[in-house]
Amino acid sequence: MKKYVVIICTVICMLIASGCESSINKTDNKPVPSEFIIKNSVVPEMDKPFGKFKSVEATADKTSQTINYKDIRAVWISYIDLAPMLTGKSEREFTQAFQTACRNVSELGCNTLYIHVRPFGDAVYTSKIFPFSRYITGFAGRQGSFDPLEIMVNIAHSFKLSVHAWINPLRLETQDSFDEYDDKYLIKQWFESSNGYVCPVSGDKHLWLDPGYSEVRKLIADGAAEIAANYAVDGIHYDDYFYPTTDESFDRSCYYSAKTDKPLTQWRLENISLMVKQIYDAVKAVKSDVQVGVSPQGNIENNYIYLYADVKRWAGEPGFIDYICPQIYFGYNNAVKPFLKTMKDWQEIVACDKVTLTVGLAVYKTIGTDEEFVSGEGIIARQIADVVSSDSCKGFSLYSYNSLFSDDPRANRELYSIKEQIKKYK
């Protein structure tokens, strides 16, 4: 009798599920534009995710293989973290090093990686849009003998880790690197034509893209879509490298040519929002189940004053982002932005029910110069506890990998406390 009851219940559940749509993991089966196709990227079969947190349930669409967790425990792997593993290494050396990194993250109890794949308008992957990163071979624009991103995706997935490809939208390399780039890349052509699309910034050796031009915004969106189309990534992630300066001379020519009545500040805000929207739309057009998220500064006001990032709009309206991960890199006693108050401020602005809030935490400060972080052992574990206990926060992200897995005794003690805290939620 019990056997028949189980069968009947199973059939009923299947019928109900077939009539429902998953809010995240649904694929539209839209054809991928041919200009983005480079190769196929294979995802290994997934077992059940470890720990308490469960992967978003797959729909009936068998082509959907993204791994995205409802409760996020992420680690940022920056280009600084990648360089010792990757630059100038053989495929075997890199594979072994990245396997170790994924094992470390998995054993810590985390489930998501934000991996830097475009730190300076370059590509730590095979791209038709951006030149090869110098962090692959040690030489700007030079192709290596293997594809780092394909290897990273496959290894991370074998550890049940979600992979979000992390890009810096506007920051570019230095002129020395541009001298080495092939002329086929748009950023090289723009630089040499001095058309204003690629700009220098006073006091910064790096060049920058000007988002006031529609061609620049399209390039950035196309680059994000290219990654989503060609790799089995689970998300596209970008951080707070928006406008690099408040100096009016940076985009004076573009502003005047726009012939707008809007003040410069409002015009810049709208340019960044247009870019954010275009990234979202471009990625969703090729793979609708790939998550798109942004990690702005933790100081809400600074996003507006210095970066022209309209975070309230992105978090309050659908169609810009799937998740927002503010870098709340402040201690409890911070005189300007104390941690708990700042987290509450972010909770209040995430008004769209389609946008998830997670919190970025500053592990790197425990081995820095901020006294509250250096002397307050266990501070990151305590912040994790505060984030997890909040109903409106859906996880945390730790910056960065090297800060977590360091030879520094202080870092090791913090790592232990973080690991013990995460164990409580399994």
Q: Give the CATH number of the domain where residue 94 resides.
A: 3.20.20.80
Residue 356 domain flag: yes
Q: Does any domain span residue 25?
A: no
SS3 (DSSP) at 379? helix
pLDDT of residue 65: 75
Peptide bond before residue 133 is cis, with ω within 30 degrees of 0: no
The DSSP 8-state label assigned to residue 244 in this structure reads -
In a domain, 19, yes or no: no
DSSP reduced 3-state for 339: helix
Alpha helices in 181-263 (DSSP H): 186-193, 214-230, 252-258
Tell me the one-letter amino acid at 223.
G
Residues of the chain under the 70 pLDDT cut? 1-64
The residue behind tokens 């030879």 is: 407
Which pLDDT score is estimated for 311? 98
Paired tokens of 135? 């962090």
* Integer angstrom CA distances of residue 397 from 104, 358, 387: 15, 7, 10
5: in domain: no
Is position 158 within any domain? yes
The whole-number pLDDT of residue 342 equals: 98
Note whether residue 140 is domain-resident. Answer: yes
Residue 233, domain extent: 38-423
The answer as to whether 27 is a domain residue is: no
Number of domains in the chain: 1
CA-nearest of 136, 330, 325 to 240 is 325
